[in-house]
């Protein structure tokens, strides 16, 4: 069986030789590919406890970029190994250059628009830094992306990431809209827009409730608003489905997104979604996604529209074609075998 090294910038926590991450994609994609390849993961070491156990035997994590790159050098001992580099960061950028110098088979998988992410994180200099890395990587590596626009005119294949299994697409639960119960599922990061959402609803005079799923321990006690409940990351599939079913509107407040998993989860459970104009590109042909301005007046107007037309919106949402986890993994296996 061919060896596949997955090179990632994600932080991974080690506890008694078991490894955990917060990004569900870093768990499920390697696990899914492990049936066709001998998967090895090289990532960054986290001091913080993470939520999702990665069921892969061969994982190496490092604090330093030097030890990170040395481990990649060691992996070259296997002449037939392949490399899947996930996203472009300083760590993965230098890894890509190193792998290119040694002429190893590789593919770079872009899951989001790095220009926008770096702008949110680093301000004016962020896009410049990313542009330098992206320009070099796109010239020396085959590209794979979750959306065409992320390729920025470069050649590359497009896949549709998904964690959706048959469970998500059946046994839908009805819920009334007398009480608006908003849901956010995702990481607590600046670029994810969760702090912006909290600001929008903090002075709400209406009867809104918001549940946040995906908080780290340190965040759990930071929110004191009475209409907001905060929960840790939910790794059990059925429990996560129940959260969607117990709420009537999903909110995705991100400043930047590529192909958000939580959006597919909400659509598969027939829960209308509110986003802001920063990420209107994700709408595509999907029904049930509504745009709001990033202020309370516009936000409430969209909520009231959804509330007044809830049943009709749900009927339209049944027409959505939701990509599944099985389809995604099949595409990934084929493209890695062909491109790398």
Return the domain boundaries, the chain: 3-162+326-339, 166-317
Is 3.40.50.2000 the CATH classification of the domain at 166-317? yes
Between CA 210 and CA 323 the distance in angstroms is 27
Does 340 score more than 80 pLDDT?
Answer: no
Q: What pLDDT score does 320 carry?
A: 96
Does 221 score more than 80 pLDDT?
Answer: no
Name residue, tokens 């896009």: 127
Burial status of residue 286 (CB atoms within 10 A of its CB: 0-12, 13-18, 19 or more):
middle
Length of the chain: 340
Lowest mean pLDDT among 83-87, 216-220, 240-244, 265-269: 216-220
Residues 6+ apart with CB under 8 A from 124: none
Q: What pLDDT score does 214 carry?
A: 84
Q: What pLDDT score does 22 carry?
A: 85
CB 267 within 8 A of CB 320: yes
Does 220 score more than 80 pLDDT?
Answer: no
Q: What is the pTM of this model?
A: 0.83
Q: What pLDDT score does 328 carry?
A: 95
CB 187 within 8 A of CB 22: yes
Does 215 score more than 80 pLDDT?
Answer: no
Q: How far is CA 21 from CA 206, 216, 268, in A?
A: 37, 12, 24
Maximum average pLDDT range among 53-57, 109-113, 234-238, 334-338: 53-57
Between CA 91 and CA 219 the distance in angstroms is 27
First to last CA, the chain: 15
Between CA 327 and CA 332 the distance in angstroms is 9
Between CA 24 and CA 40 the distance in angstroms is 17
| Same-fold call for 3-162+326-339 versus 166-317 | yes
Between CA 119 and CA 124 the distance in angstroms is 6
CB 135 within 8 A of CB 143: no
E strand or H helix at 46, and its extent? none
Q: Where are the beta strands (DSSP E) in 52-205?
A: 52-53, 58-62, 82-86, 105-110, 143-145, 157-158, 180-185
Burial status of residue 332 (CB atoms within 10 A of its CB: 0-12, 13-18, 19 or more):
buried
Q: Would you call 209 helix, strand, or coil by DSSP?
A: strand
E strand or H helix at 129, and its extent? helix 125-140
Look up residue 50 and give its DSSP letter: -
Mean pLDDT of 182-200: 88
Tell me the pLDDT band of 259, cut-offs 50, 70 and 90.
confident
Q: From 3.40.50.2000, 3.20.20.370, 3.40.309.10, 1.10.3720.10, which CATH number describes the 3-162+326-339 domain?
A: 3.40.50.2000
Q: What pLDDT score does 59 carry?
A: 97
């Amino acid at each position: 069986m061919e060896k596949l090294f997955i090179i990632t910038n994600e932080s991974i926590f080690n506890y008694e030789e078991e490894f955990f991450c917060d990004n569900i994609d870093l768990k499920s994609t390697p696990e899914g590919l492990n049936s066709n390849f001998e998967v090895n993961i090289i990532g960054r070491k986290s001091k913080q406890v993470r939520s999702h156990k990665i069921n892969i035997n061969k994982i190496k994590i490092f604090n330093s970029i030097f030890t990170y790159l040395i481990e990649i050098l060691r992996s070259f001992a296997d002449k037939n190994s392949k490399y899947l580099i996930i996203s472009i960061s300083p760590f993965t950028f230098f890894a890509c250059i190193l792998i290119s110098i040694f002429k190893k088979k590789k593919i770079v998988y872009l899951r989001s628009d790095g220009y926008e992410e770096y702008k949110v994180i680093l301000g004016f200099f962020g896009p410049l830094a990313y542009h330098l890395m992206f320009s070099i990587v796109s010239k020396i590596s085959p590209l794979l992306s979750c959306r065409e626009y992320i390729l920025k005119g470069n050649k590359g294949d497009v896949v549709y990431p998904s964690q959706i299994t048959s469970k998500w697409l059946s046994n839908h639960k009805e819920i009334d809209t007398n009480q608006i119960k908003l849901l956010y599922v995702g990481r607590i990061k600046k670029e994810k827009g969760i702090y912006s959402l909290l600001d929008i609803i903090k002075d709400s005079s209406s009867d809104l409730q918001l549940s946040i799923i995906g908080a780290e321990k340190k965040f759990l006690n930071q929110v004191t608003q009475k209409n907001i409940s905060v929960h840790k990351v939910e790794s059990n599939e059925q429990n996560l489905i129940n959260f969607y079913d117990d709420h009537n509107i999903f909110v995705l407040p991100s400043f930047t997104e590529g192909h958000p998993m939580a959006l597919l989860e909400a659509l598969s459970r027939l829960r209308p979604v509110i986003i802001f104009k920063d990420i209107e590109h994700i709408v595509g042909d999907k029904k049930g996604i509504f745009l709001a301005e990033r202020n309370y007046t516009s936000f409430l107007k969209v909520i009231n529209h959804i509330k007044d037309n809830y049943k009709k919106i749900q009927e339209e949402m049944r027409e959505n074609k939701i990509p599944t986890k099985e389809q995604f993994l099949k595409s990934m296996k084929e493209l890695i075998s062909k491109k790398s």
